[in-house]
Amino acid sequence: MPTTLDLESERKIQNTAGLKWYQGLDRYCWIVLLIAALGWLFDTMDQNLMNLVRVPSLNELLYKDTPAAQLSIEQKADVKKHGGYITSIFLLGWAAGGFVFGIVGDRLGRTRTMMLTILIYAIFTGGSGLVHSFNSYAFMRFMTALGVGGEWAAGAALVAEVFPSRSRPMALGLLQALSAIGNMMASVITLTLARVVSDAHQATSWRWAYFVGAAPALLVIWIQSSVKEPPQWHEAKRQASMGKELGNITHLFTHPVLRRNTIAAALMATAGVCAVWGVGFFSPDFVREELRAGGLAQKAIDTRVSIMFFCQQVGAFLGIYLFAVFAERFSRKEAFYFWFGLAWASVMIFFWGIVGSGAGAFTRGVILAPILGFGTLGPFSGYTVYFPELFPTRVRATGSGKGVWLSH
């Protein structure tokens, strides 16, 4: 005989049958999605400030007394080498953040973990503008990345547990798609600085970009007053006293299903974070180098690189959102197959299309960058939609974070 709870659940299903994913949702769902999206888009903004100012910042830190246009071939090679180092350090911090704050997110709660990680990446992004040596720069970028890695797992788990199952995939897809807005904001910040800062101070304008990146810390005030822990997390916490420990990493490897899911998540994240993100987000440096070879002035180079990167993120927004639509209409597996192939092709098309173009790199970049963004960022929608589905509430943030950690 059905219980009252069963009858209530059946009524809710009947009342929402035939509705689109965004219909029939209460106001709180949208508040949570908006706050989580802001946390993540500011997160990606802080990530990509580094991608846009990586070369100018290292030029100043390594060769302060030599204008960028006068660097020798050996000095340019040294800057490029240190650019690889700083990116690798950032990826290691991202991995460590996913590992540590994934566990914290399950044990301390999604909301408090999101507030903590936003404070971390905002404060250390601002601190990146104060450095005067490569070592201190590397430390700031590592600490920023700790917050970056932790915020994603907490925010995705929070949205997954607040939205009903019928709306969850598209809500998570929209959450990830809005991260492209953060990438666009990074390009707008650097573009604005390139235009308003005098030629004499162009070499140090990257510091102001990082100072602006500290602003998201204010978002914590809104989170604290507006978002509460999901009921599923409170239930998982109650069950923890019955032997089902929250955030227990060993469960990811001892339970056969969770072990398989963890390995699958790690392999998919490896393809996206290390191969796709690591390659695709060197596009600003690549175009910058071609424009410099074409004889453009530093201010013109900075302006064109920012515009090109903005176009890349327009394509990324479309790719991320359409991945979620494709995955819902067909399957997660088919979506990943299609987009990983597209990501590989888009990287080849972009870099082969730009190489050797000199001053023409800007025109080619504006045309090819949206294709690069569409292909390379699409799979990240899959991580946000699919990873929370692979793990139960008690290890959801831990499992999602470990998938990214193991990929590094």
pLDDT at 30: 93
Nearest residue to 115 (alpha-carbon basis) of 231, 261, 12, 218: 218
pTM of the model: 0.80
Tens-place pLDDT, residues 111-141: 889 899 999 999 999 999 999 999 999 999 9
Residue 323 and residue 268 in contact, taking contact as beta carbons nearer than 8 Å:
no
Most confident of 3-17, 120-134, 377-391, 392-406: 120-134
Residue 271 is given by DSSP the state: I
Sketch out the chain's domains with CATH numbers: 25-407 (1.20.1250.20)
pLDDT at residue 394 above 70? no
Residue 382 and residue 394 in contact, taking contact as beta carbons nearer than 8 Å:
no
- How many Å apart are CA 218 and CA 345, to the nearest integer? 40
* DSSP characters over 3-49: -HHHHHHHHHHHHHTT--TTSS--HHHHHHHHHHHHHHHHHHHHHHH
How many other CB atoms are found less than 10 A from the CB of residue 384?
Answer: 27
Residue type, 72: S
pLDDT at 314: 95
pLDDT at 16: 59
pLDDT confidence of 299, banded at 50, 70, 90?
A: confident
Tell me what percent of the residues of the chain surpass a pLDDT of 90: 41
Tens-place pLDDT, residues 30-76: 999 999 999 888 988 988 899 889 999 999 999 988 887 788 989 99
pLDDT at 306: 93
pLDDT at 265: 79
**Which tokens belong to 274?**
């290390």
pLDDT at 403: 44
Distances (CA, A) of 222 to 134, 199, 225: 35, 39, 5
